[in-house]
Amino acid sequence: MDELRFAKYHGTGNDFVLVEDLDDSLRLSPGLIAAICDRHLGVGADGVIRITRSPAGGFFMDYSNADGSVAEMCGNGIRCVGKLLYERGHTKESTLEVDTRGGRKRLDIDVRDGRVVSVTVGMGLPAFRRGEIPMLGPANESFLLEPFEASGRTFKASAVSMGNPHLVLFVEEDPDGFPVRDVGPLVEHSELFPEHTNVEFVALADGELRARVWERGVGETMACGTGACAVAVAANEAGLVPERATVRFPGGALEVERLADGTVDLTGPAEHVFDGVLDAAWLAGRDVGRSAS
């Protein structure tokens, strides 16, 4: 491959490298993805999203974490996909569906003067059963406001899947001062989660949920879309917030609403940062090429 064209986007500070591959011809290896996401030697990002056509029609979000591991879903990333698809003329619809490994998601795009200013994502139903998350233990039981021990402390915790696993830890102190980078990796790799887990640290303050997140396969990020949904749903189940809540991360605020049918909507911004090209010299020796298909 002579070059790889990409676009850099972020949603509330959660940043991504997006690659348009609508003819589904590119093969991006885990090693290449990790190299692209390297913040010192590559572009720098929390993940890479390859946008291609869905076999069922429409578009597919092929998402990988910064370490090259494949992920099911990314709420901030899919908003960036919606912005790119609309502003680059791949669709003229302000409502569209995008397939992910976590299922098909509906996007409602708020367009003003030809620019996408925010996107609402229909995130689907949260799952609470251990077998659906997945989490070890009785498959049909939930894990809501249960004690969870980590790093010598006991937290009240709730496990939720929003297409990917999350463990929400309720902390008494302001999350800004919490040792997320010490506790996060311990919980991510807990033996209770066979596929590892994302971890949110959350407290209620001034009527909104303040949170930090340790993302599976990435580390701490500025925000997390599925994490915001997990936080709001867990807090709603605990009676801390109503069906609509604001979740504020270091990168900004996201709005989450739990609808009457139990599904969850996520609303937030998406921003285009810059476009770039990785040239042949940078790509040399890295595992990248054209798909055999």
Rounded to whole angstroms, the Cα distance separating 84 from 87 reads: 5
Burial 80-97 (b: 16+ CB within 10 A, else e): bbbbbbbbeeebeeeebe
pLDDT tens by residue, the chain, 293 residues: 789 999 999 999 999 999 999 999 999 999 999 999 999 999 999 999 999 999 878 999 999 999 999 999 999 999 999 999 999 999 999 999 999 999 999 999 999 999 999 999 999 999 999 999 999 999 999 999 999 999 999 999 999 999 999 999 999 999 999 999 999 999 999 999 999 999 999 999 999 999 999 999 999 999 999 999 999 999 999 999 999 999 999 999 999 999 999 999 999 999 999 999 999 999 987 765 555 44
Instruction: Please name each of the domains of the chain with its CATH number.
Output: 3-124+271-290 (3.10.310.10), 130-262 (3.10.310.10)
Q: Is the peptide bond before 134 cis (omega within 30 degrees of 0)?
A: yes
Query: Which residues does the annotation mark as catalytic?
Result: 74, 224
On the 0-12 / 13-18 / 19+ scale of CB atoms within 10 A, 280 is: exposed
pLDDT of residue 292: 44
Residue partners of 154: CB distance under 8 A and separation at least 6? 147, 148
Strand partners, 77: none
C-alpha to C-alpha distance for 34 and 37, rounded to whole angstroms: 5
Label the pairing between strands 208-215 and 198-205: antiparallel
At 293 the pLDDT is 41
Count the Cβ atoms, other than its own, within 10 Å of residue 152: 6
Q: What CA–CA distance (Å, rounded) separates 24 from 16?
A: 19
Identify which of 254, 244, 215 has the alpha carbon closest to the alpha carbon of residue 79.
254
HEC string of the chain equals CCEEEEEEEEECCEEEEEEECCCCCEEECHHHHHHHHCCCCCCCCCEEEEEEECCCCCEEEEEEECCCCECCCCHHHHHHHHHHHHHCCCCCCCEEEEEECCEEEEEEEEEECCEEEEEEEEEECCECEHHHCCCCCCCCCECCCEEEEECCEEEEEEEEECCCEEEEEECCCCHHHCCHHHHHHHHHCCCCCCCCCEEEEEEEECCEEEEEEEECCCEEECCCHHHHHHHHHHHHHCCCCCCEEEEEECCEEEEEEECCCCCEEEEECCEEEEEEEEEHHHHCCCCEEECCC
* Sign of CA pseudo-dihedral 222, 47, 101, 5: positive
Q: What is the pTM of this model?
A: 0.91
Query: What is the model's pLDDT at position 288?
Result: 54
Task: Report the distance separating Cα 151 and Cα 240, nearest Å.
Answer: 25
For 97, list phi and psi in degrees, rounded to 5: -115, 140
* C-alpha distance from residue 214 to each of 51, 101, 176, 202, 251 (Å): 25, 21, 13, 12, 13
Q: Which two tokens stand for residue 230?
A: 């997990």
Residue 219 pairs in a beta bridge with 215
